[in-house]
Amino acid sequence: MSDDRVSEANQEAQEARHADLTALSEWNQARLEDEREDAAAIHVAPNWKLTWWRFKKHRLALVSGLVVILLALIVLFPGFFSTMDPHKSRAQQSFVPVQRIHFIDDGAFRPFVYGIVGRRNPETLRMEWKIDEEKKIPITFFARGFEYEVLGLFTTNIHFIGVKEGDIEENPIYLLGTDRLGRDQWSRLMYGTRVSVSIGLISVFVSVFLGVLLGGVSGYYGGVPDLIIQRMIEILQSLPAIPIWMALTAAMPRDWSVEQTYFAITLILALIGWTTLAREVRGRFLVLREEDFVMAAKLSGATQSRIIFRHMVPTFYSHIIATATLAVPVMIISETFLSFLGLGLRPPAISWGVLLQEAQNLQSVAIAPWLLLPGLAVIITVLALNILGDGLRDAADPYSH
């Protein structure tokens, strides 16, 4: 084709061009450049940023993340969220029903709860509680109440919610009712949350440590260590976890302190929990070992630890976080049922399982169905952690779509 023809066509077309066409093409050009910039941002974004972008799209996981943050706050400051002393028994106030918070009083924001009056049923000799609509107990935020320790550093008596005036023991508010011994279930749930969730977290932490270490050794070195660790995992995984956990917790001496049983349970749960993670980590290492970028790092003389921690681990640590998140609920449920069966933590320790033990008696539950409410806390927590974990896992996997 001749150059003449090109320039001729060019000229003709330029003459024919309209003003709006220029505008259109300029607009197109600008749009194109924007898109290129977006694409360029994607190319240079670090892995965690990509993960975060993908995670943000998962609405439900974001909400679950907020629930988990709230849980973390309760775990750190259970005293602050409690209203009454969780250990204190009030013989006269057993099975007080749930007192709902009303926020609007006479059209204004003045939160209060109705008082309760008890009457002993002459036939069954049981206390029967009624809501007393005459009596309003005004409640307020950041109220004074019982003394508690904050992270073992100092003591205070400020609580998130409390009664506006007077002593809370005289005008008690039972947000989740009371149990057989008249203990405030809401405050017990707060302290139980600290124990149950932290057991889950710590045992997963131990599992992750063991899993990454042993799985890493197994996958990176292969050979004899791999063989031994693999057989160990297979045997541990073919063990029926629940009876084993039961037997091990039952073997704990009865005279151990609450702290000792707490850590023993954590270790017992972690003992079986690490195998799944180790398998995953090993699988990743096996694949990564063959990757070109690992070979390139080796050839450029990187040390082994540098290859492992700078080149290999960053490609899958988001997976580890996701898997660990998904492992926490399993641990929480396990602790709950062990304590529920009376094999794990025992009173005076408070955990979700210990709380639910009160609901084991069908007669108690029939009178006081709110004793089942700690179960709801378990469900919400497990739900939030599972959705969060799934969201993280989906976000961490760039090849899923």
Q: Does 387 bind other proteins (CB under 8 A)?
A: yes
In the numeric block, which tokens belong to residue 139?
């409640």
Planar angle of CA 385, 194, 81, nearest 5 degrees: 105
User: With respect to other proteins, which residue has the nearer C-beta, 13 or 299?
Assistant: 13
CB of 353 vs other proteins, minimal distance in Å? 10
Please identify, among the stretches 21-29, 173-181, 221-229, 309-317, the one whose residues bind other proteins according to the rule CB under 8 A. 21-29
User: With respect to other proteins, which residue has the nearer C-beta, 168 or 338?
Assistant: 338
Please identify, among the stretches 7-15, 128-136, 292-300, 304-312, the one whose residues bind other proteins according to the rule CB under 8 A. 7-15
Residues 6+ apart with CB under 8 A from 256: 264
Other C-beta atoms closer than 10 Å to the C-beta of 42 total: 11
Q: Does 17 bind other proteins (CB under 8 A)?
A: yes
Q: In whole angstroms, what is the distance from residue 384 CA to residue 379 CA?
A: 8
Q: Is 363 exposed, middle or buried (0-12, 13-18, 19+ CB in 10 A)?
A: exposed
CB of 302 vs other proteins, minimal distance in Å? 31
User: With respect to other proteins, which residue has the nearer C-beta, 338 or 350?
Assistant: 338
Q: Does 238 bind other proteins (CB under 8 A)?
A: yes
For residue 202, CA distances in Å to 113, 229, 342 come to: 38, 23, 21
Q: How many residues bind other proteins (CB under 8 A)?
A: 60
Residues 6+ apart with CB under 8 A from 261: 252, 344, 345, 346, 349
Task: Write out 96-161 in H/E/C secondary structure.
Answer: CCCCCCEEEECCEEEEEEEEEEEEECCCCCCEEEEEEEEEEEEEEEEEEEEEEEECCCEEEEEEEE
User: With respect to other proteins, which residue has the nearer C-beta, 168 or 384?
Assistant: 384
- One character per residue 48-67, x = contact with other proteins (rule: CB under 8 A): ---------x----------
Task: Count the residues in the chain.
Answer: 401
What is the H or E stretch that residue 263 is in?
helix 258-289
CB of 29 vs other proteins, minimal distance in Å? 8
Q: Does 360 bind other proteins (CB under 8 A)?
A: yes
In the numeric block, which tokens belong to residue 300?
């450029």
Q: In whole angstroms, what is the distance from residue 221 CA to residue 393 CA?
A: 27
Q: Does 369 bind other proteins (CB under 8 A)?
A: yes
Q: In whole angstroms, what is the distance from residue 49 CA to residue 43 CA?
A: 11
Q: Does 365 bind other proteins (CB under 8 A)?
A: yes
Please identify, among the stretches 105-113, 215-223, 247-255, 297-305, the one whose residues bind other proteins according to the rule CB under 8 A. 247-255
In the numeric block, which tokens belong to residue 84?
């009454």
- One character per residue 250-289, x = contact with other proteins (rule: CB under 8 A): xx-x------------------------------------
Report whether 329 contacts 56 (CB < 8 A): no
3-state class of 78 per DSSP?
A: helix
Q: In whole angstroms, what is the distance from residue 36 CA to residue 39 CA?
A: 5
Report whether 233 contacts 279 (CB < 8 A): yes
Stretch 333-352 residues interacting with other proteins (CB under 8 A) = 333, 336-337, 340-343
CB of 144 vs other proteins, minimal distance in Å? 36
- One character per residue 144-173, x = contact with other proteins (rule: CB under 8 A): ------------------------------
Tell which one of 45, 66, 242, 295 touches other proteins (CB under 8 A): 242
CA 11 to chain centroid: 68
Q: Does 112 bind other proteins (CB under 8 A)?
A: no
User: With respect to other proteins, which residue has the nearer C-beta, 156 or 386?
Assistant: 386
Tell which one of 73, 104, 227, 379 touches other proteins (CB under 8 A): 379
Q: Does 32 bind other proteins (CB under 8 A)?
A: yes
Contact set with other proteins (CB under 8 A): 1, 5-6, 9-10, 12-14, 16-17, 21-22, 24-25, 28-29, 32, 35-36, 39, 57, 235, 237-244, 246-248, 250-251, 253, 329, 333, 336-337, 340-343, 356, 359-360, 362, 365-366, 369, 372, 375, 378-380, 382-383, 386-387
